[in-house]
Chains A and B, each alone.
Chain A
Amino acid sequence: MTGATGYSLFGHGSTINSHARTAAYSRALQAAVRPGCVVVDIGAGTGFFSLLACRFGAAKVHAIEADDTILVARQIAADNGFADRIVFHKTLSTLLESDIRADVLVSDLRGVLPLFEHHLPAIADARKRFLVPGGSVIPARDRQWAALVEAPEMVEPYAHPWLHNEFDFDLTAGHGFAVNNWRKVSASAAQLLTPPRLWSTIDYGIVDQPNVSGDLSWRAERAGIAHGLLVWFDAELAAGIGFSNAPGQPEQVYGQAFFPLQEAVALETGDQIDVQLSAHLVHGQYIWRWHTRVANAAGTKADYRQSTFFGMPISGAWVKGREANHVPVPSSRMTIDDFCLKQVDGAATLEQIAQRLATRFPEKFHTTQQAMEHAAELLQRYPPDPHQDPT
């Protein structure tokens, strides 16, 4: 679970501490790495997989990491005597222009689930551009499972403060948004109200597009209160090597995703439950939809159409700013930023740019330091092109 998405160094440590996961990755790398081979480690983080690949005999490892964590990875590589075998690339793998030909591609770009930000497109891109025919992809595949759960404590954050709170305010307007958000949980096997069903399989050797949808059905085998849908994944890193995040298994860093039902449903034995679950990658974030229907001979007990799209209010003004016929109007902020960008000539220092900025816009910047902070923040949005990056 690494990548240029704001993982802290502490978070990287937690993933390494996730024992079943890390031990399985180690075994998978040991099985795939042959002496002298080339490995690509995507979203390398602290470079832990790169170290393992070196230990198992890789001649060269390309560790790709856009985050500043790569600074620590570099030190760790040196501390372990692998500095001469690991080549670090401080960029996103999808932006890396390189003629790398790798025998093994290893990564863990998942979140709670494999459907996380640009994970799947990044793997597909690296596989096509960097992996030799017949090369190994670790993980090989993830299977995503789902089951209904009876778990009142999991829905409490959706009810409180929206439906009840100790201040006696009416906050119910927020409830409709809240129940369209999923969250990470740690469920026990006893909380499963239905048997797990396989929702989807992601085969990293062939995956080519990021969207996933699938139907789930159950005939209730016992009565209980259905509070939501639990989704998790089991990983197959290589043949016979993997780990599970199923409730009841040793807890890993991923946990499970809990998708609440709009309202809890009292299930009776024999009830028919149908769920359409889909995830679409839109501008780097997954939009989830879960349409849940519960019915029996007496009729429909529940028919809930939920989506993370309904989980946050979106203003018409925000949308208008993205429409093709929107006409942006000049602003003073644009003038300042335009001036600042035009000072970049490959020779002027940040301080010199800031001085010019403060002189030109004294009403905005009272000190050079203020101008420097503004310029630094603006210019860091435009990192050097990968081939110019000395790191």
Chain B
Amino acid sequence: MNATTLRTSPDVLVQQIGEEAVLLDLSSGTYFGLDPLGARIWSLLADGHSIADLTNILLQEYDVTREVLERDLDKLVAELQSHGLVRQAP
């Protein structure tokens, strides 16, 4: 994990109900569902936290090892990037 900051796409709308979230990418018309952890990660990304910051915050909030968290985070971020929902901040 590193100091990379990802920017959420301005074309994405987020509806949060309870701890879950639903994303709608207006540019593609595609919906995405996020579980509670995914929703929290999205929220932190939208607030401008770097991946490193975000990892530390989540380690305090969730009972999870750094290794497992980083693996899950890598997977989610890759998926979000592949759909154009986030991109690397300049």
Which residues of A pack against B, CB within 8 Å?
Answer: 211, 280, 282-283, 287, 289, 307, 309-310, 313-316, 319-320, 322-323
A313 touches B17 (CB 8 A): yes
B33 touches A283 (CB 8 A): no
B31 touches A307 (CB 8 A): no
Residues of A within 8 A of B31 (CB): 314, 319, 322-323
A188 to B18, CA, bound (A): 40
Across chains A and B, which 6 residue pairs bring their CB atoms closest together, nearest first?
A: A319-B33, A280-B26, A309-B13, A316-B33, A282-B29, A319-B31
How far is the CB of A308 from the nearest CB of chain B, in Å?
9
A315 to B22, CA, bound (A): 8
A309 touches B32 (CB 8 A): no
Q: Out of A283, A307, A319, which one reaches B22, CB within 8 Å?
A: A319
Tell me, yes or no, whether B44 is within 8 Å of chain A by CB: no
A239 to B32, CA, bound (A): 46
A211 to B11, CA, bound (A): 12
B20 touches A316 (CB 8 A): yes
A283 touches B29 (CB 8 A): yes
Tell me, yes or no, whether B24 is within 8 Å of chain A by CB: yes
Tell me, yes or no, whether B56 is within 8 Å of chain A by CB: no
B13 touches A307 (CB 8 A): yes
Residues of A within 8 A of B17 (CB): 313-316
How far is the CB of B81 from the nearest CB of chain A, in Å?
16
- Give the interface SS of chain A, mostly helix, strand, loop or mixed: mixed
A314 touches B15 (CB 8 A): yes
- Give 24 pairs: A residue, B residue, CB < 8 Å, sorted on A: A211-B26, A280-B26, A282-B24, A282-B26, A282-B29, A283-B29, A287-B13, A287-B24, A289-B13, A307-B13, A310-B15, A313-B15, A313-B17, A314-B22, A315-B17, A316-B20, A316-B22, A316-B33, A319-B22, A319-B31, A319-B32, A319-B33, A323-B31, A323-B32
A314 to B18, CA, bound (A): 11
A307-B13, A314-B17 provided; 8 other pairs, C-beta below 8 A? A280-B26, A280-B29, A287-B13, A287-B26, A315-B17, A316-B20, A320-B33, A323-B33
In chain A, what residue has the closest Cβ to B24?
A309
In chain A, what residue has the closest Cβ to B18?
A316
How far is the CB of B72 from the nearest CB of chain A, in Å?
16
Interface centre among A287, A314, A320, A323 (most CB of B within 10 A): A314
Q: Bits for B1-36, please: 1 = Cβ < 8 Å to A, else 0.
A: 000000000000101010010101010010111110
A256 to B2, CA, bound (A): 51
How far is the CB of B85 from the nearest CB of chain A, in Å?
13
A307 to B14, CA, bound (A): 10
Residues of A within 8 A of B24 (CB): 282, 287, 309
A282 to B27, CA, bound (A): 9
A316 to B16, CA, bound (A): 10
A340 to B24, CA, bound (A): 35
A309 to B31, CA, bound (A): 11
A314 to B13, CA, bound (A): 12
B33 touches A309 (CB 8 A): no
How far is the CB of A65 from the nearest CB of chain B, in Å?
27
How far is the CB of B57 from the nearest CB of chain A, in Å?
23
A309 touches B20 (CB 8 A): no
